[in-house]
Structure 1
Amino acid sequence: MEAQQKVGPYVLVRKLGEGGMGFVHLARDESGRQVALKMMRPELAAREEFRRRFGKEAEAARRVARFCTAPVLDAGFDAGTAYLVTEFVDGPDLSGVIQRHGPMTGSNLEALAVGVATALAAIHQAGVVHRDLKPSNVLLSPVGPRVIDFGIAQLADTAELPFTVARSMGTPAYMSPEQAKGEPVTPAGDIFAWGALMAYAGTGRPPFGTGGVAEVVYRVINHAPVLDGLDERIRALAERALDKDPARRPTAQQLLDRLLGRTEVPVDTATQMVSETWTPVLRPAQGTHAAAPPSPGHAGPGHAGASRAGGAAAAAQ
């Protein structure tokens, strides 16, 4: 019988993805629970500066409350491999759902807006900045959206890392103007990404268009976002979030308050409200690719087997 491959105390089940910083596997912990395990590339773990920052950033990520996120459960080193363990989220990513079934509307679009804002509030309260919020880093679980891969992008923000890796962090269509210009990234950068993400979810297209990296970055820095067709209530907040001046953007808490029409809404309350209004993403029968048409206000069914892992989502980018 073939020996099971392990990383630390975790048994690897199968590879889920690959990104600029490493590989993502579905794994099981010692109790048999499914988790997502992200192994950083060996050339990164070999660098002293990376090892120092890895421990610091992983510890910060573990302090993030698990409201609307895929929480970080563990981190460590094994035989020269740095690894990070997150909760496994069973659900397709937002990018795949929109590509397959078109824009979201109605209560699910609003639940997505609240859920991602709630996740950002929890992340920012822990002193962490996501830095790479994008559709593939939002998983649509049965109880609502879950944001993944927060904080780890900061590991690439060092001159010690190869240019090709550092360059992979951040996605132009969802990157704030200040990040695109190489300026310090703050929580306001995540708010800009929230606005771009909501525009994509509600219209099916990023607000600064598509194309080469240079042309998209130019639009992000210099052009107004295109929000035609976005639900008017969400659009008003997206416009504020996409302000070129980070000082004029709302905070994650202010987004929550305006979305829910209340003041200082606790993140646990917001999470419960998302769960109550969320329509779970349906899946086709196992082994098939057929899908029923999406119902009104629904994102549409996810792809069978499209779970990205706590999903691993964005594949450790």
Structure 2
Amino acid sequence: MQRLSEEDPQVIGAYRLLGRIGAGGMGRVYLGRSAGGRTVAVKAVHPHFALDTQFRARFRREVESARKVGGAWTAPVLDADPDAAVPWVATGYVAGPSLTEAVAAVGPLPEPAVRAIGAGLAEALAAVHGLGLVHRDVKPSNVLLALDGPRLIDFGIARATDGTASLTATGVSIGSPGYMAPEQIVGKDVTGAADVFSLGAVLTYAATGEPPFTGDSSAALLYKVVHEEPVLGPALTGGLRELVTACLAKDPAARPRPGELARRLAGPPGASALVQPGWLPGPLVERVSRQAVELLDLEADGAAPGGNAPSPHA
């Protein structure tokens, strides 16, 4: 987490900002606190998006859709103002690293942890798809790992940039090369099956430390996703490998539905049966615990602990 700089706002909406969590193609993410003491993640979009009236309309629609999303494995949308000078949205704060950060810190995760992540995210997607929504940007940086389980963030918000930003523009994408489904890349109708493909890529990354498609450029990645078979590596074995392979099928109709995926990963008890004390490797538990202590130690003037910001969640 980084301290607020002179160019950062001190307050957004009803939230006093305590520090900057990250930044990405869509905007900056801040740690905020309400007058009642609730800690939130506040995403403020880049100013150039704010000048686009079409973006504002899409942002408003996506926020309204995201507000409907609930469940144990998501970070809920709590507040938003699409009509502000700089549009913003506030979600529940999740104390834990992204999957990107976790793998960078400790390497590939053990199979029980991968299964817990997969089952939790599959249950989240089942709930979202049941509302008629599609996430469209399931990727490791949108998966946060807390002591009480994984969380999928940024439901639908990325779609607000569709038509505003080029797929290959620097720092901006509608979906993420290497994790997007083939039909998403070629412009066909996108259904919940696209999220399942992305989840298969995320689980490959969690289990092996590498995505199933790699390349030197976005164009190379997109080509491989559409035309080549995934590279899963020897670390992904047995039933988990079979499930991931099914998720990464080129044909959307051949992919399992999220509910089926959750049952095959966790059995009838569901993801909660897999998320028990110790579900995360010890070094990650220590990291989450330190992050929680830092949060408690934030001073009333809004100063944030020093250090570098986590990977972008924007």
TM-score, normalization: structure 2? 0.83
Number of matched residues? 291
Aligned to 2:261: 255
Q: Tell whether 2:186 aligns with 1:212.
A: no
In structure 1, how many angstroms separate the alpha carbons of the residues matched to 2:207 and 2:168? 34
Q: Tell whether 2:38 aligns with 1:38.
A: no
In structure 1, how many angstroms separate the alpha carbons of the residues matched to 2:75 and 2:210? 25
Aligned to 2:195: 190
Q: Cα gap change, 1:166/1:23 in structure 2, threshold over 3 Å: closer, same or farther?
A: closer
Cα displacement (A) at 1:88: 0.4
Aligned to 1:74: 79
Aligned to 2:157: 152
Identify the match of residue 98 of structure 2 among 86, 93, 97: 93
Aligned AA (2:70): A
Q: Deviations over 1:53-98 (max 9, x none)?
A: 2221101101111321111111114641211000000001111111
Could you list the runs of 4 or more consecutive aligned residues of structure 1 that deviate by over 3 angstroms after TM superposition? 159-167, 280-283, 298-307, 312-317
Identify the match of residue 108 of structure 1 among 101, 109, 113: 113
Q: Deviations over 1:254-278 (max 9, x none)?
A: 211222344xxxxxx6343243375
Secondary structure of 1:276's aligned partner: coil
User: What RMSD over aligned residues (CA atoms) do the two structures have, in Å?
Assistant: 2.8
Aligned AA (2:169): T
Q: Which runs of 5+ in 1 are unaligned?
A: 263-268, 284-297
Aligned to 1:61: 66
In structure 2, how many angstroms separate the alpha carbons of the residues matched to 1:121 and 1:242? 17
In structure 2, how many angstroms separate the alpha carbons of the residues matched to 1:213 and 1:151? 22
Q: Tell whether 2:218 aligns with 1:233.
A: no
Secondary structure of 2:275's aligned partner: helix
Q: Cα gap change, 1:303/1:240 in structure 2, threshold over 3 Å: closer, same or farther?
A: same
In structure 1, how many angstroms separate the alpha carbons of the residues matched to 2:210 and 2:84? 43
In structure 2, how many angstroms separate the alpha carbons of the residues matched to 1:224 and 1:54? 35
- The question of whether the paired residues in 2 share the 8 Å contact of 1:21 and 1:316 is answered with no
Secondary structure of 2:276's aligned partner: helix
TM-score, normalization: structure 1? 0.83
In structure 1, how many angstroms separate the alpha carbons of the residues matched to 2:168 and 2:218? 16
Aligned AA (1:237): L
In structure 1, how many angstroms separate the alpha carbons of the residues matched to 2:135 and 2:187? 16
Aligned to 2:147: 142
